Amino acid sequence: MRADVVVIGGGPGGSTAAALIAMKGHRVLLLEKEQYPIYKVGESLLPSTVRGICALLGVTEEMKAANFIVKRGGTFHWGKDLHPWTFSFSSSPRMEDENATAYQVERMKFDLILLNNARKLGVDVRERHTVTSLSVTEGRVDGVFFTDPEGQARFCSAGFVVDASGWQTRVANHAGRRVLSEFFRNVALFGYYRGGERLPPPCEGNILCAAFEDGWFWYIPLSPTLTSVGVVVDKQHGRTLQAGDAEALERFIDKCHPIRAMLSNAERITEGPYGQIRMRTDYSYQNTSFRAPGLVLVGDSACFIDPVFSSGVHLATYAALLAARSINTCLDNRLPEDSCFREFEARYRREYARFYEFLVAFYDTNNDLESYYWHAKRVTGSEFEPNRAFVELLGGIGESGETAFGLSRVLFPEMLGAPVAEDGDRSRRFFTQLLREGVKMQLQAQKGLQRESEQPLFSGGLVPSADGLQWAVPPE
């Protein structure tokens, strides 16, 4: 069997990479070990995924039709005095209408939409096919060994292999070693409830995050009646925890007043895919390398950070876009392989590192709300009042003068040409870059809008092609 590209895993990272490569006419085989739909954690999405990547993939209408809960922002009991505060994307005059929203998704439905879309775009999707190992010839990955649903051993050779097989990857160690975060040594314990309260409109679809003495809770409305509830505690607190420990989850809920209040009339679901109490530990890490000759890592197989800012699916789908650009460029013999994958890894690592950096600051719950606002104003350099700076920061438009998700054509050229601050603090640079990436995704998603005279992010680096699906050498 032969394909141009084999993608391992049919999660958001794998489906996105496969679809964006197939869109350039290449033969893609996607191997997924399960039969979808399957349960997954990771339900709160960001606007960059919903309004950027999903538009690029052409699934906007399907997402709408799925009736996912609309997420307008977040409500936090966080900081020194734990008073509740809410940010709403739409409270910024620079984010408008539905571009100021994301979705809370049942992953069984969301992942299936993306996988079926890959199929529709020509990807040869095979479920219940498990990759067992890589084929390596003279130091280059050139195919995969896998088993089919009958348990038969099979082989497929390929020009490139994308490992998007998630946190339990068997093959990422070919590229490098997994290094666990020293800072985020946490344990998450989570389950599902029926009949939980909703925040008052228009915040009923918000993610609710509540800190308490042992850690913090997420509370994500997935339908008018279904709620995802999880606690994140330090590994020290979580030493005795184990999957299935419903009593431990209830004990933590009792200690966290806002969550206890929201669940006062709710019952825990005990049957079906949402019936288990699940646990994840050591989930903040990065691989020492995200690539090897012929192999590229995307999503949780490469890296992941603590979920407080719901960045997992964003990082997976953004990495998929970067990997697809690199592979498309190489398959068409446009640029040397090494420069394409250097670009991939540099951009991906920068995105990860900057989320990580801001998260470390946000985890300092000893600050009060005003100081978060002021921190937001400082890191974004916003000319507006601090609370507006904060909203715009979490909405991904923390730089003055543009609309990351509002699609202001007038402001695009200035933004794309704007120099990235190389002085000042690192957080400021983080948000400048984050903003740009959001805008770039939007540009690609906009039919007919072509990128113009973009500057490389790194000295000697590449820029996206006009259609956003390849790399190009920047004009002199």
130 binding ligand FAD? (CB under 6 A): yes
CA distance 414 to 441: 16
Nearest to 21 by CA among 384, 237, 320, 367: 320
Q: Which of residues 235-294 bind ligand FAD (CB under 6 A)?
A: 280, 283
- State in angstroms the smallest separation of the CB of 473 from ligand FAD: 30
Pick from 40, 77, 174, 428: which binds ligand FAD (CB under 6 A)? 40
Pick from 4, 32, 392, 402: which binds ligand FAD (CB under 6 A)? 32
Bond from prior residue into 202 cis (ω within 30 degrees of 0): yes
CA distance 322 to 194: 39
Nearest to 66 by CA among 116, 126, 118: 116
Please identify, using beta-carbon distances, which residue of 43 and 392 lies nearer to ligand FAD. 43
- CB distance 98 to 105 below 8 Å: no
Residues 6+ apart with CB under 8 A from 242: 279
- State in angstroms the smallest separation of the CB of 218 from ligand FAD: 7
- State in angstroms the smallest separation of the CB of 166 from ligand FAD: 3
165 binding ligand FAD? (CB under 6 A): yes
Cα dist. 39→242, 276, 317 in Å? 19, 11, 19
- State in angstroms the smallest separation of the CB of 241 from ligand FAD: 13
Choose the binding region for ligand FAD from 6-14, 79-87, 368-376, 400-408 (rule: CB under 6 A).
6-14
The backbone region for 411, taken as left when phi is positive above 0, alpha when psi lies in -120 to 50, beta otherwise, is alpha
Pick from 3, 20, 42, 211: which binds ligand FAD (CB under 6 A)? 42
Please identify, using beta-carbon distances, which residue of 309 and 372 lies nearer to ligand FAD. 309
CA distance 8 to 31: 5
170 binding ligand FAD? (CB under 6 A): yes
- CB distance 397 to 442 below 8 Å: no
34 binding ligand FAD? (CB under 6 A): yes
313 binding ligand FAD? (CB under 6 A): yes
Partners of 186 in the β-ladder: 234
351 binding ligand FAD? (CB under 6 A): no
Please identify, using beta-carbon distances, which residue of 31 and 439 lies nearer to ligand FAD. 31
- State in angstroms the smallest separation of the CB of 464 from ligand FAD: 22
Pick from 100, 123, 295, 316: which binds ligand FAD (CB under 6 A)? 316
CA distance 135 to 363: 42
CA distance 342 to 425: 25
Please identify, using beta-carbon distances, which residue of 315 and 369 lies nearer to ligand FAD. 315
Residues binding ligand FAD (CB under 6 A):
8-14, 31-34, 40-45, 130-131, 164-166, 168, 170, 188, 230, 280, 283, 299-300, 304, 307, 310, 312-314, 316
